[in-house]
Every structure is written in structure tokens, then in C-alpha cells.
């Protein structure tokens, strides 16, 4: 009788909640520290209730960290890399006029936490695409060109990683070779547009989402690839799309 009592106290002591003993969930961070020194980790019930939301430093947990959760089924999600993006409820959203942050995220499968212990392994995936745009002016090389992106996805749900619907717009920046670059979030449709301003005047609106989709690019990949878009706006007015570098042209269309 004494042995049985000691065994019961070892698994769930009198000082703890008098209900059922929780499950100890070990969350392995894998290579999360390679992406950021801060990681947000959440647990979700089967009816999408947020069970916990921790902000941790992966460097402090070289192997894993543990959470006590009520016994049942759940899934884990995580994200990092957000700077300007803000959490509103369960949505990580991009502020008006800002590009997408270089965010990495994870959404795990169902975890059976009905026993005394369970585990999950976080593997982060790229949730943004950098669009590199090279503009040909056909003899107007001295003109001042400004690009602005507009779309209808402005972030993602941190539980499902599904794109959030909302207005997105930001001006492109320039890289060292004076090509335009815009960081955009995962898209749910082909509505993304590029507005081309020439000497301060809107010259053309390019349906970039349709060009990208027609090239065979998929916004449903776990890790989004960067996009290389060449626009020849005046002679002959063509656009080509690549998904790995400038030399990998996969689709050309007349604008």
C-alpha cells in the first residue's frame, strides 16, 4: 500500500492541481537559433483555442524546452523574424506602407498529449518572397523610376500559417546594382500589382500576381522561393519571370 502511494505522489504530487496530472510536452527547437535570437511558440487545442504563447531565446534551450499542458490533443506553431509586423489576436500583420518582414514559421501536426509525456520538433519555413525587379526603359535610362507593390494579403494566421486578408502596399527599395526589391508575404490569390512611377507620374500598373502565377510559381510551397521579374516597359513591352536567378527565365509575356 505504501509503495502504491509513493508512486502516485511521484507522478502527481498533492501540492499540484488536484485534477488529472498534466502532460509534459518537450518541444525540440532544432536549428531555430540559426534564424533569430527570439522565437514565439504557441500551443493550440483542436478547436483552435490558444493554450500558451511563449517568447523564448533558442540559445537558452540548446536541446528543447518543456511545457505542462492539459491532457488531450493539440498542435504547436512558432514564428520568428518579425520586426515591424505586429500580432493582433492570432494574426501577424504588416503595417500600412511597410514590406513584409523576413519571417520564418512552423505549423506542426496533431500531437497526442493524452499520456504523461509528448514531444514535437520545430522546423521553420520561409514565409516571405523577395521580388527582384529589373526595369528596361528602352532609351529612357535617365528617368527616375519608383515601384510600389499593392496586394490583398498582409500577414498570416500564427496557428494555421494561412495568409491574412488585408490591404498591403509598400514602395520598393534598391539593391547594390540599382534593381528594385520588394519583400512580400505569402499570397492567397493573384491580385498582387506593381505600380510603375516614371518621373513622379504613374506610368503603368503591372499585374505581377498573374505573371508570377502563369510562370508556374506556387505560393503553397513550404519555403517560398524568391522571384526575379524583368520588365521591358517600352520596347517591346515584355515581362519575364524567373524563380531562382535572372538567368532562369520561365515565362515571358507581352504587356
Instruction: Give residue-wise pLDDT tens across range 24-50.
Output: 999 999 888 788 889 999 999 999 999
Contact indicator for 194, 205 with CB cutoff of 8 Å: yes
Are residues 236 and 185 part of one domain? yes
Q: Positive or negative, the Cα torsion across 190, 239, 196, 103?
A: positive
Are residues 45 and 137 part of one domain? no
CATH label of the domain that carries residue 195 = 2.60.40.2630
> In this structure, is residue 228 part of a structural domain?
yes
Q: What residue has cell string 522565437?
A: 39
* Cα first-last separation, the chain: 84
Are residues 114 and 62 part of one domain? yes
> In this structure, is residue 45 part of a structural domain?
yes
Strand-pair category, 125-126 with 227-232: unpaired
Are residues 112 and 25 part of one domain? yes
> In this structure, is residue 15 part of a structural domain?
no
Q: What is the pLDDT of residue 202?
A: 93
Q: What residue has cell string 536567378?
A: 245
Strand-pair category, 145-157 with 128-136: unpaired
Are residues 192 and 250 part of one domain? yes
Are residues 141 and 91 part of one domain? no
Express each pLDDT in 134-161 by its tens digit: 887 766 667 788 999 999 999 999 999 9
Q: How many CA atoms lie within 13 A of 153 on its CB side?
A: 24
Are residues 241 and 148 part of one domain? yes
Strand-pair category, 227-232 with 128-136: parallel
Contact indicator for 243, 250 with CB cutoff of 8 Å: yes
Closest residue by Cα to residue 110 from 80, 72, 156:
72
| CA distances in angstroms from 144 to 175, 181, 199, 220, 231, listed in the order given | 15, 16, 5, 35, 15
CA 204 to chain centre: 29
- Reply yes or no on whether the pLDDT at 234 is more than 70: no
Task: Evaluate the omega torsion of the peptide bond into residue 236 and state whether it is cis, within 30 degrees of 0.
Answer: yes
Q: When comparing pLDDT for 89 and 137, which is higher?
A: 89
CA 7 to chain centre: 46
Express each pLDDT in 185-194 by its tens digit: 999 999 999 9
> In this structure, is residue 175 part of a structural domain?
yes
> In this structure, is residue 31 part of a structural domain?
yes
Are residues 135 and 249 part of one domain? yes
Are residues 191 and 173 part of one domain? yes
* Alpha helices, H only, 115-235: 208-214
Domain count across the chain = 2
Q: Counting beta carbons within 10 angstroms of the beta carbon of residue 100, is it exposed (0 to 12), middle (13 to 18) or buried (19 or more)?
A: buried
Are residues 230 and 134 part of one domain? yes
Q: What is the pTM of this model?
A: 0.86
Q: When comparing pLDDT for 69 and 33, which is higher?
A: 69
Domain coverage including residue 217: 129-254
Q: What is the pLDDT of residue 5?
A: 43
Amino acid at each position: 500500500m505504501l509503495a502504491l502511494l509513493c508512486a502516485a505522489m511521484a507522478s502527481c504530487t498533492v501540492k499540484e492541481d488536484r485534477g488529472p496530472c498534466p502532460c509534459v510536452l518537450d518541444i525540440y527547437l532544432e536549428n531555430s537559433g540559426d534564424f533569430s535570437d527570439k522565437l514565439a511558440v504557441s500551443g493550440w487545442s483542436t478547436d483552435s483555442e490558444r493554450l500558451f504563447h511563449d517568447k523564448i531565446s533558442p540559445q537558452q534551450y540548446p536541446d528543447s524546452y518543456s511545457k505542462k499542458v492539459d491532457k488531450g490533443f493539440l498542435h504547436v506553431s512558432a514564428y520568428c523574424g518579425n520586426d515591424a509586423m505586429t500580432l493582433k489576436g492570432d494574426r501577424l500583420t504588416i503595417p500600412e506602407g511597410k514590406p513584409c518582414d523576413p519571417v520564418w514559421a512552423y505549423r506542426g501536426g496533431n500531437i497526442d498529449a493524452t499520456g504523461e509525456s509528448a514531444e514535437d520538433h520545430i522546423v521553420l519555413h520561409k514565409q516571405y518572397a523577395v521580388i527582384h525587379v529589373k526595369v528596361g526603359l528602352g532609351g529612357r535610362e535617365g528617368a527616375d523610376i519608383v515601384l510600389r507593390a499593392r496586394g490583398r494579403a498582409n500577414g498570416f494566421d500564427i496557428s494555421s500559417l494561412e495568409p491574412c486578408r488585408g490591404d498591403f502596399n509598400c514602395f520598393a527599395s534598391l539593391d547594390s546594382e540599382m534593381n528594385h526589391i520588394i519583400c512580400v508575404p505569402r499570397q492567397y490569390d493573384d491580385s498582387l500589382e506593381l505600380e510603375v512611377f516614371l518621373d513622379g507620374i504613374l506610368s503603368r500598373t503591372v499585374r505581377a500576381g498573374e505573371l508570377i502565377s502563369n510562370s508556374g510559381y506556387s505560393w503553397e510551397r513550404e519555403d517560398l522561393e524568391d522571384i526575379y521579374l524583368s520588365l521591358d516597359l517600352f520596347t517591346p513591352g515584355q515581362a519575364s519571370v524567373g524563380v531562382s536567378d535572372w538567368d532562369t527565365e520561365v515565362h515571358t509575356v507581352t504587356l
